[in-house]
Amino acid sequence: MSSTDTNQTHTFVELAQSGDQEAFGELVKLHHSQIYGQILRMVRNSEDAQEIAQLTWIKVWNKIDSFRFESAFSSWLYRVATFTALDAIRKRNSRRELSYENPEESGDAIQHSPISVVAPPEQIRNLENQEIRDRFKEALNKLPEHHRTALMLRETEGLSYKEIAQKTGCKTGTVMSRIFNARKAIQTDMKDFLS
């Protein structure tokens, strides 16, 4: 993103935080294609991606007051989009598990589930246990925002370090360092489960 776009974004965010819906519309115009592309890579289905992108923008409007300009707006936005997509995936997985538990339900419910299968099976298996999932979320939330964003873009989207650097506007070496430190912090927080 150019410095002009960055300056525009900053101005539009400030206006949107004061309730200016037109300014928020400009933010959507500036960032929607990147957000949609990110979500599409996660869910691999254009209709699902459109729905999740809309949900993301609703969340952003509702939470924009919480943005404190401590990092790039795009980084914060990518994080909201990533978590919105992950929530949708988790809900889909829960519905699918319920269908398996109720054999009388039609298999159509699984086939026509509104969210496409995305997360690798081993990732789902590793997070099956609620306690582990809760501890992981706690550890993730303790990370500085820029570390958390880099890690999520790497782990959930499978982006390369170079792609993450481009998305977050920093050097590749910085991205590598952030991801290394994020993983190390999470491993430390979860050492009871990983031992």
How distant, in Å, are the alpha carbons of 20, 31, 42, 114 from that of 60?
A: 14, 12, 19, 22
Determine if the pTM surpasses 0.85. Answer: no
The mean pLDDT of 173-184, rounded to a whole number, is: 85
How distant, in Å, are the alpha carbons of 8, 54, 77, 106, 130 from that of 3?
A: 8, 26, 18, 53, 43
CA distance linking residue 7 with residue 130, whole number of Å: 42
The mean pLDDT of 125-133, rounded to a whole number, is: 58
- Give strand ranges (E) for the chain: none
pLDDT of the residue at 15: 94
CB-count burial class (<10 Å; 0-12, 13-18, 19+) for 90: middle
Range with the poorest average pLDDT among 8-22, 139-153, 177-191: 177-191
- 92 Cβ contact list (under 8 Å, min separation 6): 113, 114, 115, 116, 117
pLDDT of the residue at 106: 39
Whether 75 contacts 153, CB under 8 Å: no
Closest CA to 128 of 72, 193, 182: 193
**Higher-scoring residue by pLDDT: 44, 15:** 15
Amino acid letter at 100? Y
Inform me whether the pLDDT recorded for 121 exceeds 70: no
Question: What structural domains does the chain harbor?
Answer: 1-119 (1.10.1740.10), 120-195 (1.10.10.10)
CA distance linking residue 168 with residue 175, whole number of Å: 9
